[in-house]
């Protein structure tokens, strides 16, 4: 048993889960390394059927979309639109989930030759979700049917205006809802207060895909796909579902695991020119993993929306013009680089503000605010601050009109939205979920909000909550970290929220070779006392205590990391991607 000790990364190491007897039996029956017992326990896989479903996610195991509330109403209205050739407007969010949701519906309706209009609000001037002015504009264009994707569940005023203007609105969303239902033709949301559908962690794009599953079936049953009409193959658009779900950090279990597993296979060899162009500018090969979507494709699709160009992502993902796709992908690449520079500057400024106000100290929830900050980047800056400070953080961009837009991120064990709701009287708007939320307020309320937010987080405090923690899945001898183990671990993919990549602890190893790569990373060779060796690499650890310890070598240490197969110059090697290390005898 590995004790809880501080590491060179300043973390406490704790086991992620403890296996029970049935997990040991399942592991033995499957011929797996005993390490897998704790992995099965962590994912709640308590019998052979659950293990099989997890390791072999199949589309036929998806629950019926007809079991969701209001799905029948939404489908009936859309069938009427399809049969009459009525124009449909799609109102989407400006983030990756909203962009992929909008693109999914565009591809489908275009395949039916249905006129379609897309409206993505400007993040900076309009903010999140439907607004009355946008509804008035769509009505003036003659639109009578609007489908919202990844938004709309709390857009009470905008939807009321739409109704007054004679428009029917179908809301598809996944965000937490309040007791009051918006006035709409249909509201499809797994997080409706009265929704019995058990899969609550779907992304917006997953909900949109479910709508198309139900609509496609209804049209088939009505004989629409006859007389020369071709039925769209929804499976070839699962790449969009995978990208939106991963980028929105939705849990990769249940419905999401099935959709993402199949979507990543489509994304590996995409048939659509937009995704091919995006992979090219991101220098991605044929294979496609969840991490590549999260850290390479997602930020590029997001970049347009963060910097005033929310429609760019949609245009890229729906265009059939290869030249235009390449142009858009290159523009998004430039926007992403600009976003990175803005982000780096804001992180430095935010850290300086925290330090100037006395550091983290005894504070439980942190709020940083500044004039001139780019409101399109505050969410990702909040994420960076959480990584550095390990506290729930809200970053607020103040404007010249005396207002402020904020975005927050949380840590495991803290319900961010519940904490923000405690300050509802101080806010103009707010929304989100446990891990991430947004808000707006008048700047005069900022001091009161800072105090109230800290108190709300304090109310959720428990010992150890703010200890930066590395969770590991098992302790193995170095000799057992081989190609066979790596291949078996690969069967657990896709990794992400709710299905983390397993972290292994190797005790008492030595670093026998080490060198710095690109002034940031440390490549090394690990060895045990029997002379077995294993390649290792630690990213972005130099300069710093972790990187220094690896370069110093000599003393035996415990290391923690994930096991992968690295392909280099047509050679296949097992590698440990190091997450942390600590002295062997450090108490």
Which tens digit of pLDDT belongs to each residue from 59-114? 999 999 999 999 999 999 999 999 999 999 999 999 999 999 999 999 999 999 99
Q: What is the pLDDT of residue 3?
A: 43
Other beta carbons less than 10 A from residue 215's beta carbon: 26
Residues 271 and 394 in one domain: no
Query: For the residues of 404-468, what is the DSSP string, one character each?
Result: EEEEEE--TT--HHHHHHTTGGG-SEEEE-SSEEEEEEEGGGHHHHHHHHHHHHHTT--TTTTS-
Strand 168-172 to 186-188 pairing: parallel
Does residue 343 lie in a domain region?
no
Report residue 299 as tokens.
């930020």
Other beta carbons less than 10 A from residue 22's beta carbon: 15
> Mean pLDDT throughout 459-468?
92
Q: Is the pLDDT of residue 157 over 70?
A: yes
Helix (H) or strand (E) holding 575: strand 571-583
Instruction: Return all residues near 576 (Cβ < 8 A) that are at least 6 apart.
Output: 481, 504, 506, 526, 534, 535, 536, 537, 559, 561, 562, 563, 564
Does residue 228 lie in a domain region?
yes
Q: Is the pLDDT of residue 353 over 90?
A: yes
> Mean pLDDT throughout 461-478?
92
Residues 105 and 235 in one domain: yes
Residues 11 and 25 in one domain: no
> Mean pLDDT throughout 351-367?
93
Q: What is the pLDDT of residue 4?
A: 45
Does residue 409 lie in a domain region?
yes
Of 333, 367, 397, which marks where a domain is finished? 333
DSSP-based helix, strand, coil % in the chain, nearest 5: 45, 20, 35
> Mean pLDDT throughout 282-306?
90
Q: What is the pLDDT of residue 172?
A: 98
Residues 529 and 576 in one domain: yes
Model-level pTM?
Answer: 0.90
Does residue 347 lie in a domain region?
no
**Percent of the chain residues past pLDDT 90, beyond the cut:** 82
User: What's the farthest any 2 CA atoms get from each other in the chain?
Assistant: 78
Q: What is the pLDDT of residue 5?
A: 56
Domain that residue 50 falls in: 18-54
Residues 74 and 46 in one domain: no
Residues 547, 552, 557, 561, CA torsion sign: positive
Indicate the pLDDT class of residue 569, thresholds 50, 70 and 90.
low
CATH number of 452's domain: 3.10.310.30
Are 365 and 409 within 8 A, CB to CB? no
Strand 571-583 to 557-568 pairing: antiparallel
199-236 confidence digits (pLDDT tens): 999 999 999 999 999 999 999 999 999 878 999 999 99
Q: What is the pLDDT of residue 426?
A: 97
Q: Is the pLDDT of residue 6 over 80?
A: no
Residues 318 and 434 in one domain: no
> Mean pLDDT throughout 512-520?
94
Q: Is the pLDDT of residue 50 over 60?
A: yes
Average pLDDT, the chain: 93
Per the omega criterion (within 30 degrees of 0), is the bond before 202 cis? no
Q: What is the pLDDT of residue 553?
A: 80
Does residue 502 lie in a domain region?
yes
Cα 103 to Cα 42, 99, 433, 531: the distances in Å are: 35, 6, 24, 54
Q: How many domains does the chain have?
A: 4
The closest alpha carbon to 219, from 378, 148, 346, 113, belongs to 113
The closest alpha carbon to 190, from 68, 73, 284, belongs to 68
Other beta carbons less than 10 A from residue 448's beta carbon: 13
Residues 100 and 47 in one domain: no
Does residue 212 lie in a domain region?
yes
Of 425, 458, 491, which marks where a domain is finished? 458
Q: What is the pLDDT of residue 32?
A: 85
Of 282, 299, 333, which marks where a domain is finished? 333
Residues 421 and 565 in one domain: no
Are 369 and 404 within 8 A, CB to CB? yes
CATH number of 575's domain: 2.40.50.140
Residues 11 and 86 in one domain: no
Residues 327 and 410 in one domain: no
CATH number of 161's domain: 3.90.1640.30
Residues 11 and 151 in one domain: no
Residues 512 and 551 in one domain: yes
Q: What is the pLDDT of residue 587?
A: 42
DSSP letter at 183 equals: -
The closest alpha carbon to 102, from 243, 200, 224, belongs to 243
Q: Between these two residues, 493 and 4, which has the higher pLDDT value?
A: 493
Does residue 165 lie in a domain region?
yes
User: 216-219: long-range contacts at Cβ-Cβ below 8 A with a sequence spacing of 24 or more?
Assistant: 216/108, 218/75, 218/76, 218/79, 219/79, 219/82, 219/112
**Percent of the chain residues past pLDDT 70, beyond the cut:** 98
Are 565 and 573 within 8 A, CB to CB? yes
Q: Is the pLDDT of residue 176 over 90?
A: no
Indicate the pLDDT class of residue 1, thresholds 50, 70 and 90.
very low
Does residue 352 lie in a domain region?
no
């Amino acid at each position: 048993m590995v004790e809880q000790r501080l590491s060179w990364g300043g973390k406490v190491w704790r086991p992620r889960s403890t296996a029970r007897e049935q997990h040991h039996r399942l592991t033995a029956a499957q011929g797996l390394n005993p390490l897998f017992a704790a992995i099965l326990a962590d994912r709640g896989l308590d019998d052979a059927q659950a293990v099989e479903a997890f390791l072999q996610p199949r589309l036929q195991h998806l629950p019926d979309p007809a079991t969701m509330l209001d799905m029948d109403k939404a489908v009936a209205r859309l069938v009427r639109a399809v049969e009459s050739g009525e124009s449909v407007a799609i109102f989407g969010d400006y983030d990756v989930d909203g962009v992929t949701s909008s693109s999914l519906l565009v591809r489908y309706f275009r395949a039916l030759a249905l006129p379609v209009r897309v409206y993505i609000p400007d993040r900076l001037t309009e903010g999140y979700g439907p607004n009355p002015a946008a509804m008035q504009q769509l009505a003036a264009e003659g639109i009578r049917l609007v489908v919202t994707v990844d938004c709309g569940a709390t857009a009470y005023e905008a939807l009321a205006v739409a109704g007054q203007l004679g428009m029917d609105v179908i809301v598809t969303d996944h965000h937490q809802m309040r007791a009051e239902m918006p006035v709409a033709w249909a509201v499809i949301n797994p997080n409706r207060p009265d929704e019995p559908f058990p899969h609550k962690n779907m992304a917006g794009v997953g909900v949109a895909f479910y709508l198309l599953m139900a609509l496609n079936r209804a049209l088939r049953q009505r004989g629409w796909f006859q007389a020369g009409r071709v039925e769209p193959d929804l499976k070839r658009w699962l790449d969009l579902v995978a990208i939106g779900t991963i980028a929105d950090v939705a849990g990769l279990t249940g419905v999401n695991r099935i959709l993402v597993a199949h979507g990543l296979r489509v994304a590996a060899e995409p048939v659509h020119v937009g995704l091919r162009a995006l992979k090219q500018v991101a220098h991605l090969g044929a294979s496609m993993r969840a991490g590549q979507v999260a850290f390479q494709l997602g930020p590029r699709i997001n970049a347009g929306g963060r910097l005033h160009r929310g429609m760019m992502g949609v245009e890229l993902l729906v265009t059939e013009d290869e030249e235009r796709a390449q142009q858009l992908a290159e523009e998004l690449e430039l926007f992403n680089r600009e976003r990175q520079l803005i982000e780096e500057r804001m992180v430095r400024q935010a850290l300086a503000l925290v330090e100037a106000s006395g550091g983290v100290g005894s504070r439980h929830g942190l709020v940083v605010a500044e004039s001139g900050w780019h409101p399109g980047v505050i969410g990702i800056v909040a994420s960076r601050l959480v990584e550095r400070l390990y506290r729930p953080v809200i970053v607020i961009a103040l404007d010249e009109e005396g207002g402020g837009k904020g975005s927050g991120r949380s840590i495991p064990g803290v319900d961010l939205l519940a904490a923000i709701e405690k300050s509802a009287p101080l806010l103009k708007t707010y929304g989100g979920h446990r891990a991430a939320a947004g808000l707006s307020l008048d700047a005069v309320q900022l001091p009161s909000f800072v105090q109230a937010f800290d108190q709300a987080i304090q109310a959720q405090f428990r010992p150890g909550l703010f200890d930066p923690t590395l969770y590991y899945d098992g302790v193995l001898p170095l000799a057992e970290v081989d190609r066979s183990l790596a291949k078996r671990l690969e069967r657990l993919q896709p990794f992400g929220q709710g299905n983390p990549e397993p972290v292994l602890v190797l005790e008492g190893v030595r670093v026998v070779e080490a060198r710095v790569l690109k002034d940031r990373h440390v490549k090394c060779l690990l060895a045990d006392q029997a002379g077995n060796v294993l390649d290792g690499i630690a990213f972005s650890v130099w300069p710093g205590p972790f990187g220094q310890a690896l370069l110093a070598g000599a003393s035996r240490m415990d290391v923690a990391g994930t096991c992968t197969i690295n392909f280099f110059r047509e050679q296949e090697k097992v590698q440990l991607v190091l997450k942390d290390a600590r002295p062997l005898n450090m108490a």
